A and B are shown apart, each in its own frame.
Chain A
Amino acid sequence: MCLAIPGKLVRIFENTGLKMGEVDYDGTVSQVCLEYVPEIALGQYTVVHAGFALSILDEEEAQKTLALWQELLEKADQQRENDGRSGGRQNE
């Protein structure tokens, strides 16, 4: 029950006084309770545990992490090219 993956909020509604929503996981839609993330907006991603959304995925943070990794990759490629040109060991 801890293997939560992020899903995208596609609908908001109310049921028995609780703020509810529908979250899309790549085509599979499930109902979740939004009471703990009341400020969430349609289109945002959320991490859900046992039917309760517990956080709004911070897309800016996610992009920052990914951009950093991309930068590292490019640097490594650059390094490899330089090594190759200077007659160093060609990486596989």
Chain B
Amino acid sequence: MSKYLSEFREPAVARLMLDEIKGLVTKPWVIMEVCGGQTHAIVRSGIDQLLPTGVRLVHGPGCPVCVTPLEIIDQAIAIAMMPEVILCSFGDMLRVPGSQQDLLSARASGADVRIVYSPLEALQTARENTGRQVVFLAIGFETTAPGNAMVVAQAAKEGLTNFSILVCHVLVPPAMKTLLDSPDNQVQGYLAAGHVCTVMGLAEYEAISAEYKVPIVVTGLESNDILEGLLMILRQLESGRHEVENQYGRSVKREGNPLAREMVGRVFATKDQKWRGIGLLPQSGLTVREEFSGFDAAKRFAVQEIATKESPLCISGIILQGLQRPDQCPAFATSCRPEHPLGATMVSGEGACAAYYHYKKL
């Protein structure tokens, strides 16, 4: 395993932290890990099973594939079916169910859908296919926005007329606030997503922590990072403090990455954004700014009005808000499996349903 990974998964350290957590906790607490990558690490390493009874982890909405609204999937499919279009996407979007089909089945019926690992590959595809329209399905949180902003700026600089992005960017802090505002809220502390903060820094979290009086610990993605983050948050909860602490100092600086933030602000503006399963959250998404609107696929290919239909069995919206666990869904591992997902949370590697399916022996 590569450097800076295995050292952060050392079992002896994990045992030590678990002991310390056990010695510390006097009351029941509910803590949400926001990031799907952390959900994955928690379920894989079994941290949720090893915590003292009373300390409950609930899984948050931090899986970009899962919260991308159905409309975007349906729009992407409609655009991909146009003969002049090459649609480029991250691989994990291909099996996310739309209303009728997914991108993979669109590809089987003739659409030119290509998997890329970086938006730069999509841009390169546009340079190499000047006779075609290349569309990149630009989804994700604050972590992928800088890359998507960069390719738009670059396409503008090069004067490319056959490149555009279908944007669905979601922002984490508005979702964290919405969950705290909900009358059903149980969350008393947040493990904030280390990589989102790598870009955005800590300022937004300091405001949330102060306003809602909740402790927030910015946490890395390895198992011992998560245990240390939990320890830090439980110390705060047990002593009645609420502040922002940074467990993930090796990647997160207080100011985040200013260059990345600046580019995101240049290309994108915030807007109200729908989250799949959760609904419309004010100012929680990004849209392409007017001056770059030539690169906005939603404008270039007028496919705005699409009526969508979710599977009536899927409760992923409730799961994404931490109100139920995947194994409480009646379809879980029966009619809904990774080979035949009913909801996006079963598809993505970061989705809670997929994590439970792969790692929990049920």
Contact = CB atoms under 8 A, between A and B. Distances in A.
Contact of B12 (A8, A38, A55, A73): A73
A66 interface: yes
B4 A73 contact: no
A2 B13 contact: no
A64 B4 CA distance: 12
A45 B4 contact: yes
B350 interface: yes
A64 B28 CA distance: 31
B40 interface: yes
B54 interface: no
B195 interface: yes
Interface in A46-67: 47, 49-52, 54-55, 57-59, 61-62, 64-66
Contact of B118 (A2, A52, A69): A52
B286 to A, nearest CB: 15
Contacts of A72: 13, 16
A38 B350 CA distance: 30
B88 to A, nearest CB: 12
Interface in B15-54: 16, 19, 35-37, 40
Contacts of A50: 90, 117-119, 140, 143-144, 147
A36 B3 contact: no
Contacts of A61: 249-250
B254 to A, nearest CB: 12
B37 A54 contact: no
B157 interface: yes
A4 interface: yes
A4 B195 contact: yes
Given A45-B3, A62-B250, A66-B7, A51 B195 contact: no
B117 A2 contact: no
A6 B150 CA distance: 21
Contacts of A86: none
Contact of B257 (A54, A62, A64): A54
Nearest to B19: A76
B3 A1 contact: no
Contact of B144 (A32, A37, A49, A55): A49
Q: Which of A17, A31, A55, A76 has the largest count of B CB atoms less than 10 A from its CB?
A: A55
B69 interface: no
A52 B250 contact: no
Contact of B147 (A26, A47, A49, A64): A49
Contacts of B8: 66
B158 interface: yes
A47 B251 CA distance: 8
Given A51-B121, A73-B12, A35 B143 contact: no
A25 interface: yes
Contact of A69 (B13, B144, B259): B13
B144 A47 contact: no
B90 A18 contact: no
A2 B10 CA distance: 22
Interface of A: 1-8, 16-18, 25-26, 30-33, 35-38, 45, 47, 49-52, 54-55, 57-59, 61-62, 64-66, 69, 72-73, 76
**6 closest A-B pairs (Cβ-Cβ)?**
A51-B118, A26-B2, A52-B147, A62-B250, A61-B250, A61-B249
14 contacts: A2-B35, A2-B36, A2-B141, A3-B350, A6-B251, A18-B154, A31-B118, A35-B259, A47-B251, A50-B143, A52-B146, A57-B4, A57-B250, A58-B251
Given A5-B5, A57-B250, 17 more contacts: A1-B64, A1-B90, A2-B35, A2-B36, A2-B350, A4-B221, A6-B2, A16-B158, A17-B154, A18-B120, A32-B118, A33-B120, A36-B257, A49-B146, A50-B117, A61-B249, A66-B7
